[in-house]
Amino acid sequence: PPARPPSPAAAPGSAELVCAQGRNLKAVLCQRCGSRVLLPGAATFARRELLLPAMRKKAAAAAGGGGGDVLREHWLVRDMFSFENVGFTRDVGNVKFLVCADCEAGPIGWHCLDDKDSFYVALERVAHE
């Protein structure tokens, strides 16, 4: 039988997305509108279990509830000014969720207010180009 092409959900740690230094090889985009969130090389691959609410518009994401997903593979950004295009929800406890600044889809990521230099973007919630 012919070999199947790799699925889009192939291991995010694959050579397609992560360079030898552990940084993103491709631009990170919003899945919904295609807006650029991060340039290539702007983030580092990280594994950390984080609970993100189900994808929706910014106002609903800030309200919380409605279930969510435990996501384990993320792009770690150390400086909020590294983002090309990202918005933040209001505080939900000590967390702000990251959303697309253009279409407000999200949350695509997570930021704990206790750690000012760690912004996580879930690989499953974004596209790569």
DSSP per position, 20-88? TTSBBSS-EEETTT--EEE-TTS-EEEEEEEEEEPSEEHHHHHH--S-EEEEEEEEEES-GGG-SS-EE
Give the pLDDT confidence score for residue 55 in this predicted structure: 87
Type of residue numbered 4? R
For the entire predicted model, the pTM comes to 0.82
Tens digit of pLDDT at every position of the chain (129 positions): 444 333 334 444 456 899 999 999 999 999 999 999 999 999 999 999 999 999 876 666 565 556 899 999 999 999 999 999 999 999 999 999 999 999 999 999 999 999 999 999 999 999 999
Rounded to the nearest 10°, the torsion over CA 11, 13, 16, 17 is: 120
Fold for 18-57+68-128, please state it: 2.170.150
Nearest Cα to 61, choosing from 107, 124, 111, 123? 107
81 φ, ψ (degrees, to nearest 5): -80, 0
